Amino acid sequence: MQIIDPNKVNWKKVEASNMPVIDFTIEKELIGTFKAKEENVGPNNSNIYTLRKLDGTDVCFWGNTLLDSRFKTAEVGDLFKIVYLGKAKSKDGSREYHSFDVFHGTGEQVVEEEPTEEEVNQAFDN
């Protein structure tokens, strides 16, 4: 076990602004694993969510009433797909909001890993 002296670590504050914020009007679909949720961010006290995309990069997105309700029970590591549907009108037609379909990934996820050196050697020996 490695012991770390926190007084000797060069700490850098991690803020949402350090990561790209997705613009769903341009990138209509986002697939990734849930990493974090920050509450009461910015002047509107909004939620901001972080997902790790399939390519390994982290992106943030701002919550709205719909997204906040869908991510209420999200746990770190959960797989999600978010599809931007465009603007929709409220039931009474008094306002517009950004609408999304949100899917929660279930079941076994197949991830291909690079073969080990031993597996490569065995493949060529046969």
Q: What is the pLDDT of residues 83-119, one digit of tens each?
A: 999 999 988 989 999 999 999 987 655 555 666 677 6
* Measured distance CA(23)–CA(60) in Å, rounded: 10
The answer for residues whose C-beta is within 8 angstroms of residue 66's C-beta and 6 or more apart is: 97, 98, 99, 100, 102
Residue 10 has a CB neighbour count (10 Å cut-off) of 4
* Measured distance CA(12)–CA(71) in Å, rounded: 28
Least confident of 4-8, 64-68, 77-81: 4-8
Domain extent listing, the chain: 16-125
Per-residue confidence (pLDDT) for residue 29, from 0 to 100: 95
Banded pLDDT at 4 (limits 50, 70, 90): confident
Per-residue confidence (pLDDT) for residue 19, from 0 to 100: 73
Q: Are 98 and 67 in contact (CB under 8 A)?
A: no
Residue 50 has pLDDT above 70, yes or no: yes
Q: Are 82 and 29 in contact (CB under 8 A)?
A: yes
Per-residue confidence (pLDDT) for residue 113, from 0 to 100: 61
Residue 12 has pLDDT above 70, yes or no: no
Of the candidate CATH numbers 2.40.50, 1.10.3470, 1.10.10, 2.60.40, the domain formed by 16-125 belongs to 2.40.50
The answer for residues whose C-beta is within 8 angstroms of residue 89's C-beta and 6 or more apart is: 95, 96
Per-residue confidence (pLDDT) for residue 119, from 0 to 100: 66
Rg (CA), the chain: 20
Distance (Å) of CA 70 to CA 5, 51, 112, 120, 126: 39, 14, 29, 43, 51
